[in-house]
Amino acid sequence: MSGGLLVAGTTSDAGKSVLTAGICRWLHRRGVKVAPFKAQNMSNNSAVVVGADGRAGEIGRAQAMQAAAAGIAPQVRFNPVLLKPGSDLSSQVVLLGEAVDHVHAGNFRSLKPRLAETVHTTLAELRAEYDVVVCEGAGSPAEINLRDTDFVNMGLARHARLPTIVVGDIDRGGVFAALFGTVALLDAADQDLVAGFVVNKFRGDLDLLRPGIGMLTAVTGRPTYGVLPFDVDLWLDAEDSLAYGRTLGRPGPPRGTQWLDVAVVRLPRISNATDVEALATEPGVRVRLTVEPAEVAAADLVVLPGSKSTVDDLAWLRDTGLSDVVCRHAAAGRPLLGICGGFQMLARSIHDEVESRRGTVACLGLLPVDVSFAARKTVTRSAGTAFGAVPVHGYEIHHGHVTHADPGLPPLLTHLDGRDEGAAVGNVFGTHWHGTFESDEFRRRFLTEVARLAGRHGFVVAPDTSFEGARERSLDRLGDLVEEHLDTDALWRLIEDGPPAGLPFVPPGAPPLPDRA
């Protein structure tokens, strides 16, 4: 059996995903055959991966990023269970890449044994194939209301005897209380697996923090393996769009005399918001996720992104008045782009008996197409051309299909087999393809057209920006941070030898489980 490690966190967005990626990159640099693993992810930011059998499936985008950090192609086994929330109460269940069910709080418990069996089998397979499997937890391991059926955090660690490190985000405050409390709410068997801590996103003088680290060791009997500094450049491939700031990244100065301002409407059920990250790597392009009407009205380009619940988010767009702002933007001749669910919102109508089950719904009517939802989801990688012969690639994850379009409708993209994709009518664009802006030449041509339509004649697109290069630099930076700021010798011993013996119990431990009879 290979070495293994579980990276748990005091909260969601504590830094589990980036630390897992950083450890994978560090091990990959050492020549270790390493794979990432997240038993269950809850996210609408997903990636499409294609297996050796040619079948396409979905996994969390963070696990695709972690696979890149490990120097390997992503697989559905790296994230066997993906929950895609469609509302606050229900989620679509994606099992080994394929949508298999919808669950809500009331029936999820009955499905958990099947999911746990798949998770345990998949992890055992990966540990037989790789030298090290770095597992990422979900949320917090101290979610005591869920512990009796947990197979993602300490339930997984206990099943596979995984040593566990807990990462806490000091930028939020209260990190020592969060780290101590996480251990103190675990039962003795789970505490035996928690080997120590990592502090994330630290700013300032480390000498001021050291006494607290010493006291944390004194009260828990566990070391802190290191303190990772806050790094403003680590923003690509965020696990959840809620983790984004108002402006994506740190936009570089323009190559010309003018900036391009891009407003991405932050839909309540936004999915694959990472589509616009590639735009944000371009010098002179400011990309903001926003719900502010004034920011949308002032933007050069407005983007309606993907949605896990298109009809509901379209209703929200109307309720907030943002639909009027978007329509006025388009009527003024300024560029508007809809991606996947956003493209569907731009249509004349949607017929939906699948997600919202509201039948036929009138849309914004900015593109002369009609959309109907199919029960079976389209999940595929796609490739084609745009603007004549410019190569472009992407991926598709959608239930909606264009069932009627006006004759002669100009497509935005063309599949390699000659089929039209999306629409480009004057200043309004739409496509079901995600990830197109990762194609450098297509991104440049699209931004050049956007600048023309927006009257930003002083904007000059950079000829040398590489999105793949930006992603690799980000992953290398993660590996650098692990090597420079963590005790990697101790971390390697932990991976090789497993949980240390004799770790002390931290009271009070987990409270008794409630009677669910």
pLDDT digits (tens, 9 = 90+) for 28-50: 999 999 999 999 998 888 899 99
- Residue 311's pLDDT is 96
How many other CB atoms are found less than 10 A from the CB of residue 372? Answer: 18
More confident residue, 103 or 3: 3
According to DSSP, the β-strands at 349-352 and 369-386 are parallel
Which 8-state DSSP code applies to residue 247? B
- Residue 509's pLDDT is 93
- HEC profile for 379-443? EEEEEEEECCCEEEEEEEEEEEEEEEECCCCCCCEEECCCCEECEEECCEEEECCECHHHCHHHH
More confident residue, 52 or 96: 96
For 381-424, what is each residue's pLDDT tens digit?
999 999 989 999 999 999 999 999 999 999 999 999 999 999 99
Tokens of 417: 């087999």
In angstroms, the CA 161 to CA 131 distance is 16
Q: Which residue has the tokens 């001021």?
A: 208
Percent of the chain with pLDDT over 90: 81
In angstroms, the CA 81 to CA 78 distance is 9
How many other CB atoms are found less than 10 A from the CB of residue 291? Answer: 15
With the CA atoms of 327, 329, 331 and 335 taken in that order, what torsion angle do they form, in degrees rounded to the nearest 10? -110
| Mean of pLDDT values over 112-119 | 92
- Residue 245's pLDDT is 53
- 246 band by pLDDT with thresholds 50, 70 and 90: confident
In angstroms, the CA 493 to CA 439 distance is 41
In 3D space, the residue among 440, 435, 444, 418 whose CA is nearest the CA of residue 340 turns out to be 435
With the CA atoms of 69, 73, 77 and 82 taken in that order, what torsion angle do they form, in degrees rounded to the nearest 10? 70
What are the backbone angles phi and psi of residue 319, rounded to the nearest 5°? -60, -35
In 3D space, the residue among 224, 176, 227 whose CA is nearest the CA of residue 204 turns out to be 227
How many other CB atoms are found less than 10 A from the CB of residue 141? Answer: 29
Residue 398 bears catalytic tag: no
| Mean of pLDDT values over 237-254 | 70
How many other CB atoms are found less than 10 A from the CB of residue 493? Answer: 14
Catalytic residue among 28, 399, 434, 485: 434
Which 8-state DSSP code applies to residue 365? -
More confident residue, 104 or 220: 220
- Location of each CATH 3.40.50.880 domain in the chain: 256-461
What are the contacts of 416-424 at 24+ separation with CB within 8 A? 416/383, 416/384, 416/385, 421/382, 421/384, 422/343, 423/343, 423/367, 423/368, 423/369
Architecture of domain 256-461: 3-Layer(aba) Sandwich (3.40)
361 SS3 class: strand
The per-residue pLDDT of the chain, averaged, comes to 93
Residue 340 bears catalytic tag: yes
- Residue 251's pLDDT is 87
- Residue 307's pLDDT is 94
Which 8-state DSSP code applies to residue 228? E
CA distances in angstroms from 322 to 64, 315, 354, 505, listed in the order given: 33, 10, 25, 54
- Residue 1's pLDDT is 52
- Angle of the 16-29 helix axis to the 61-69 helix axis, nearest 10: 20
Which 8-state DSSP code applies to residue 497? H
Q: Would you say 202 and 170 are in contact if contact means Cβ atoms under 8 Å apart?
A: yes
| Least confident interval from 82-86, 182-186, 202-206, 298-302 | 82-86
- Residue 238's pLDDT is 62
- Location of each CATH 3.40.50.300 domain in the chain: 3-234+472-497
- Residue 343's pLDDT is 98
In angstroms, the CA 358 to CA 367 distance is 21
- Residue 106's pLDDT is 66
- Residue 505's pLDDT is 97
In angstroms, the CA 511 to CA 517 distance is 18
Percent of the chain with pLDDT over 70: 97
CA distances in angstroms from 494 to 31, 70, 245, listed in the order given: 18, 19, 35
Q: What topology does CATH give the domain 3-234+472-497?
A: Rossmann fold (3.40.50)
Q: Is the pLDDT of residue 182 over 60?
A: yes
Q: Is the pLDDT of residue 439 over 90?
A: yes
- Residue 44's pLDDT is 83
- 239 band by pLDDT with thresholds 50, 70 and 90: low
- Residue 366's pLDDT is 98
- 241 band by pLDDT with thresholds 50, 70 and 90: very low
Catalytic residue among 340, 398, 399, 432: 340
Q: Is the pLDDT of residue 105 over 70?
A: no
In angstroms, the CA 427 to CA 379 distance is 28
Question: Any bridge partners for residue 93, and if so which?
Answer: 83, 101
Q: Is the pLDDT of residue 242 over 50?
A: no
- Residue 128's pLDDT is 96
| Mean of pLDDT values over 155-167 | 97
In angstroms, the CA 168 to CA 225 distance is 12
Which 8-state DSSP code applies to residue 52? T
Q: What is the DSSP string of 458-486?
A: T----SS--HHHHHHHHHHHHHHHHHHHB
